[in-house]
Amino acid sequence: MQLGSVLKQIIKDKKKLVEESKNKVSLQELKIKTNEISKPTDFKNIFDSNEISLIAEIKRSSASAGDILPELDLSNITNTYIEGGVSAISILTEKTRFGGSLSDLKEVASICKKNNVPVLQKDFIFDVYQIYEGALNGASAALIIVSILDEKELNQLIKTCKDLSITPLVEIFNEYELHLALNNGADVIGINNRNLNNLETSLKVFEELSPMVPKDKILISESGIKTIEDVELMSEQGADGVLVGESILKSKNINDHIKKLSNVKKCK
């Protein structure tokens, strides 16, 4: 897939930041530090439930929606999510377009670990260095976007995640990307209903691709999910979980909205 101009710029900015980080702390130093940390909360365990697993996202802004909650209280929103009964929390660590950081991940993960709730690091990850950074800041899972990687990078990132007991959530948007994901050891597949190049969203993307995903894989629907009807539709089409952000953050009663979205049986 050809990368759109916005996505290209995000990745360009991210590569610069990663290089700056490497100049401060080497990959070898990160590897030594990861030997001292405990195993993260198991992300895959959340899918053992008979209900659709709700992965609720925290982000201050996004490339598609602009500012969402720029002044959000991380501790408060994390505790609200946990009290509402989310299965896992996704936290943006991308800085330029989403207002996130590794310190956000660390803060959220420290609260979640006490409550046995896994944390997904959501970012534009293309370097194993970023996986080690995530591990050191409490990530249980990491988003791996197939469209921004070549196959060698994809394979290396998936392997590194597994070596660190981090679950790679491998994101796809078309059949070709699905084949790449499966051929390189992906166990958890995320179908993104948003086209990252033009930012258009349609749940039909999941409808078209979900039948192609082997039944033994964990399948997550990402983006464009707003209502309990949307979650039910995703369940009917084979989802094990859904990743929801904006509709939760913008809801008048976050706790109630989470409880509604979490109360959907799996059809799988």
pLDDT on residue 57 = 96
- Enumerate the β-bridge partners of residue 122: 92
Domain ranges in the chain are: 5-34+48-262
Q: Is the dihedral of CA 208, 212, 213, 216 positive or negative?
A: positive
3-state secondary structure at position 202: coil
CB 121 within 8 A of CB 142: yes
Non-local (6+) Cβ contacts of 241 within 8 A are 46, 47, 52, 53, 54, 55, 87, 218, 219, 220, 221
Taking CA 115 as the corner, what is the angle to CA 118 and CA 109, rounded to the nearest 5 degrees? 50
- Enumerate the β-bridge partners of residue 186: none
What single letter denotes the amino acid at residue 210? S
> Burial of 13 by CB count in 10 Å (0-12 exposed, 13-18 middle, 19+ buried)?
middle
pLDDT on residue 16 = 95
Q: So what's the architecture of 5-34+48-262 in CATH?
A: Alpha-Beta Barrel (3.20)
- pTM here is 0.94
Residue 127, token pair as written in the block: 């370097």
Strand spans (E) along the chain: 53-58, 61-62, 66-67, 88-92, 119-122, 141-145, 167-172, 188-192, 218-222, 241-244
Taking CA 15 as the corner, what is the angle to CA 190 and CA 151, rounded to the nearest 5 degrees? 45
| pLDDT grade for 249, boundaries at 50, 70 and 90 | confident
User: pLDDT for 83-126, tens place per residue?
Assistant: 999 999 999 999 888 889 999 999 999 999 999 999 999 999 99
User: pLDDT for 54-89, tens place per residue?
Assistant: 999 998 766 665 666 667 899 999 999 999 999 999
pLDDT on residue 64 = 62
